[in-house]
Structure 1
Amino acid sequence: MPLSPIIPEKSNAIVNAVIKKLREETGREPDSEAIVKALNKITVWLYERGEYPLAEPVARIAFDLAEQALGKEHPDTLISLNNLAGLYQAKGGYSEAEPLYQHALTMNERVLGAEHPNTLTSLNNLAELYQAQGRYGQAEPILQRVLAASERVLGAEHPRTLTSLNNLAGLYQAQGRHVEAEPLYQRALAAFEQVLGPEHPDTLTSLNNLAGLYYAQGRYSEAEPLYRRALAASEWVLGTDHPDTLTSLDNLAALYRAQGRYEKAESLYQHVMGARQHVFGAEHPDTLRTQLNLVVTHINNQQIPLALQELREMDARLQGFVGSQFDNTLPEQVRQQ
């Protein structure tokens, strides 16, 4: 397939490598659709490994090529668009992600229908973005719609349905609706263990979610073994610097802090902060959140000079993030309470 001169030379190199691999696997020249599908798979693979800086250029190339070769409404073009939006969200670029998610949703509903799995994925992605921004009133009806449609279209124990169940439970928890959240988390965890196995990443996310609910309720003795189990499995399956592993470490640090085990909490927060700076960058919301948690732990542990030093060091980065997200996000207000 001749490559458009619109695509930059670096992109051509990536596309040519994909073409070569597909040619070797199939024994024939791949068409544009096959190339885009392969690029989308590479994007998802890198994303799941937490390799966001490597995934983003591949996602951009996939989307540009899909739009040119397949058209703006082709399902693979919309998958590429969703992937790119997901990477923006993972980096904390909420204002960049939202219009892409909304566009992908509009196109999927028009092209594939309101209950097609790709449409439900688009809806779920948009709801997760709203939840990350604290826009719970907008997220809840979307998540309820996705769950009902997923159960109808895919079945009650399909992994996508269980993810929707987890997401709705997470929204309830974020709103303090713990009684509603707990049975959903428990149902999702039991089904994930049965369907995917006890060490699958989706099972570990579900395990962390249930532990987080117990933590929020002050049920620390129930939360700790779940957090420890999730952390050990994440390190084994995903690696020590994977974003999900860092989330597990962060969760355990928060538990230690709540229990007054400040030295253990400080050690874990410092490790997580260093790893997140390396993986995400210094201005990513998760990096800033971890550093703020470390500041609070220093204060709890009567280490005021250390807390002030951390705050001075992060002041400019925190202000920069707040400025970029203030128009449509609430997390900073939540963190300042």
Structure 2
Amino acid sequence: MEPAKQRKIIHVDMDAFYASVEQLDNPGLKGKPIAVGGSSQRGVVAAASYEARKFGVKSAMSSVIAKRNCPELIFVKPRFDRYREISNRIRNIFFEYTDLVEPLSLDEAYLDVTENKKGNPSASLIAKEIRQKILDKTGLTASAGISINKFIAKVASDYNKPNGQKTVNPEEVPEFLEALEIRKFYGVGKVTAEKMYRLGIFTGKNLKEKSREFLDEHFGKSVEYYYQVVRGIHLSEVKPSRIRKSLGAERTFEENISSEVFMLERLENISEEIERRLTKSKVAGKTVTLKIKYSDFTLQTRSKTLDYYISSKGLILETAKKLLYQEKMKNSVRLLGISLSNLNTEKPDEKEEKKEIAVQLKFDF
């Protein structure tokens, strides 16, 4: 069997993107700790500048806690139209080098530059060029990770942030992964990391020493992923057109609500927002999921799959109502959300990728 060709993958990640855009557009904010998000009691930090991160402020943190950590914190309302505008300019730079660009969000993307438009054999030099072009054309800095697959490239892009890059050459992969702290493995969250610590797994080397049977016993469906990536095997290709799997919206309330009348009013607004997004994306879905976060922060989801695709506010709201009345509320509610999945954009399952290990070839990285 002919060996699979080894790929050259770059993961580009903008540095504190939303916060950096705000500092770019308002020079008075430069060098100051800022948080993009709401400053109310129920506000949440969407992004934090590096100056704010020094105080422990981070995304998804409650605005109240963020302000407590950093009393000088400045809150700025998000401007997503502006972020999209700059993101599109950055993406156009990527396309100067390759058409194999897979955006993960407005501020990060994978690029496959194994064969590229510049004919440059060095992925590291391409990454450096791209980062310089982004700086020249937008005034913003980016970091990058370069390696043989998406997993390692993403992990590497965090190493020399901000405004840096790290290359993990093919021959360096085993040593790099064995020395890697387990919490830095992409896909290992806080809860999983703590579980691994209890099992004596602190580094990639510890993980690599565990058998498939051991991982299966403790991690179930994730066993194959952990077993493969710690050995440098991650065959997921850079997919230029990522298929949307779901679409939704949610609202956090200024005050907890316990009245179903008020909940229905909020669900109507959310359904209207989803209809607008579905129309814009030209998609529809079959599965409606209602998300409820109670005042004690416990989270509950309720789902219903229909026999037909829907995209109208009326049908989304009708299904959400049934889910709301499905069982009695156990507490007052601080957040409601609706999402639509099982979309008509999804393709039939493709054949599972073959699990051959790519032979490591020597070439400029």
Normalising TM by the smaller chain, what interval? under 0.3
Higher RCO by CA contacts (8 Å cutoff, separation 6 or greater): 2
For the pair shown, the structure with the greater C-alpha radius of gyration is 2
Return the TM-score normalized by structure 2: 0.25
Which one has the bigger helix percentage? 1
Which one has the bigger strand percentage? 2
